[in-house]
Structure 1
Amino acid sequence: MSYELKEENGFKYIDEGQGETLLLLHGLMGALSNWEDVVDAFKDQYRVVLPILPIYDLPLLTTGVKSLSKFVHKFIKYKKLSNITIIGNSLGGHVALIYCLAHPEMIKTLVLTGSSGLYENAFGGSFPRRESREFIKEKVEYTFYDPATATPELVDDVYETINDRNRVIKILAMAKSAIRHNMGKDVHKIKIPVGLIWGRNDKITPPEVAVEFNQLFPNSTLYWIDQCGHAPMMEQPEQFNLYLSEFLNKVTQKV
């Protein structure tokens, strides 16, 4: 990623631009680089902030989506952010949902893309076989509509993570926490405007998840991206940014 990674008070994050805050949350196997095209597109109009979620740093007993939401709150308070648009992909979306329920006064709008919280199919129920790079390559490719999006560098990053026993334990604990913490009965309590930007070919949080979210939220708009899997901001960044801009402008006009 071409932006400066800042380290303060136990937080690692990117903070670019000025204006209203866009807070971007990455997924379980994600990284800040997943959002690079979003930062490029919006940093001239917004303050774009990306914290690294401490997925591998929490004590095993507290490794879970609620703990990540508490971490996000500490970060927001430390940075004195307010009137935030919170944007989450995959597990990051799940954390954003929990945060919006706990601290509705802090959030202006919510954007979810390939978010967990209702149903997800991460490793297809199988334990990641650490010794097999080909297995990891297949699973990373499964994330996208176009397998070519799973670059060798991306596969190497995931392979390295999966071969770290401590990280694997934390990943599995976090994934189980996400499955246990189903949001189906709580989503209707989120009254703020919600944008849902979904890959029509998402195999991890498939299209019916987006449809269900759209039905459950009192005030949501659903955007579909064709030929796109679980990480639209990576696979179809121009279309993702177009929809995100459209949604943000729509919300601003209503205020």
Structure 2
Amino acid sequence: MAHILKKEKEFSYIEIGEGTPIIVLHGLMGGLSNFDGVSGFFSERGYKIVIPELPIYTMSLLKTNVKSFANYLHDFIEFKGFDEVILLGNSLGGHIGLYHTKMYPEKVKALIITGSSGLYESAMGSGYTKRSDYEVIKKKAQDVFYDPEVATKEIVDEVYATVNDRNKLVKTLAIAKSAIRHNMAKDLPKMQTPTCIIWGKNDSVTPPEVAEEFNDLLPDSELFWIDKCGHAAMMEHPDLFNEILDSWLNKRGF
């Protein structure tokens, strides 16, 4: 699904639909298209879907960290003039959403995390010693999913190009260190924002016990599982992901 990328000031983003804003936060290697299924579904159900391009590789190395990205998100929300938003994040995007919610709880009506970092990091920033070997990178990309076919050649090519770009690799490693540094175990029990946790039962990047820990630590959370599913539930099982999220949003009155 091709959407027009709007560019205003320092922000680039996709925006479709009208209604309550759901801001979608992509992961480290995740493109905006990863959320096509989600954006199409919810933009037709009374929500404004907004997917900003996060400045993962464009900020200075000093600012390449979770806190800076969360502040960037705050600046974007202010720029758009949104009073309250729902945040939906996958992987690093989930971590950014959590950290933003910790800093600006009054701005976040609800939070949805899937395969989120913030408690446990395994694959992020590791295993790039053989980055010039296309087959090694292909296997790494496939391991993100339960079904390796989801890792199309386009996805593999993009990951390969990213890890073989020296500037991007240095920043990928900086983000991995930042994700560990910004562990949220002590923060989560203080966060009262209603949170929907949707997790792949076969996630090898952030394993199922990570989802259980998020659910235990967050005071107002619900955990939903998707079977035969890896690290990116909204890509592998978009229909089921949408069904779970739609039901949760309706139940909570969002």
Deviations for 1:184-233, whole angstroms, at most 9, x for unmatched residues? Answer: 00001110211000000000010000000000011111000000000000
Moved more, 142-151 or 119-128: 119-128
Supply the RMSD in Å over aligned alpha carbons: 1.1
Partner in structure 2 of residue 212 of structure 1: 213
Residue 180 in structure 1 maps to residue 184 in structure 2: no
Aligned residue number for residue 26 of structure 1: 26
Cα separation, partners in 2 of 1:163 and 1:106, compared to 1, 3 Å: same
Unmatched 5+ residue regions in structure 1?
none
The share of aligned pairs that are identical, in percent, is 52
**TM-score normalised by length of structure 2:** 0.97
1:54-65 matches, within 5 Å, as: 54-65=55-66
Deviation for aligned residue 1:82: 2.2
Q: How far apart are residue 120 of structure 1 and its match? A: 2.0
Output the CA distance in 1 between the equivalents of 2:205 and 2:181: 16
Alignment of 1:5-154 (within 5 A): 5-44=5-44, 45-123=46-124, 125-154=126-155
For residues 124 and 185 of structure 2, the distance between their equivalents in structure 1, rounded to whole angstroms, comes to 22
Contact 1:113 1:196 in 2 (8 A): yes
Gaps of 5+ in 2: none
TM-score by length of 1: 0.97
CA distance in 2, matches of 1:82, 1:31: 26
Between the aligned partners of 1:124 and 1:227, the Cα distance in structure 2 is 25
Supply the distance in 2 between the matched residues of 1:82 and 1:112 (Cα, whole angstroms).
21
1:205 counterpart SS class: coil
Q: Alpha-carbon deviation of 1:126?
A: 2.5
Contact 2:115-2:206 within 8 A present in 1 as well: yes
Q: Which amino acid aligns with 2:41?
A: A
* CA–CA separation in structure 1 for the residues paired with 2:131 and 2:125: 15
> Number of paired residues?
253
Q: Kindly tell me: are residues 152 and 165 of structure 1, through their superposed partners in 2, closer, same or farther at Cα, counting changes over 3 Å?
A: same
Residue 130 of structure 1 deviates from its aligned partner by: 2.5
Secondary structure of 2:253 counterpart: helix
Give the letter for the 2:23 counterpart: L
Q: Which amino acid aligns with 1:190?
A: M
How far apart are the structure 2 equivalents of 1:35 and 1:251? Answer: 22
Indicate if the aligned counterparts of 2:128 and 2:163 stay in contact, CA closer than 8 A: no
Q: Matches of 2:173 and 2:149 in 1, distance apart? A: 26
How far the C-alpha of 1:124 sits from its partner, in A, is 7.9
Shift of 1:247: 1.0
CA distance in 2 between counterparts of 1:40 and 1:54 reads 24
**Distance in 2 of aligned mates of 1:205 and 1:7:** 33
Helix, strand or coil for the counterpart of 1:126? coil
Q: Report deviation, 1:161.
A: 1.0
Number of the residue aligned with 1:226: 227
| CA deviation after TM superposition for structure 1 residue 17, in Å | 0.5
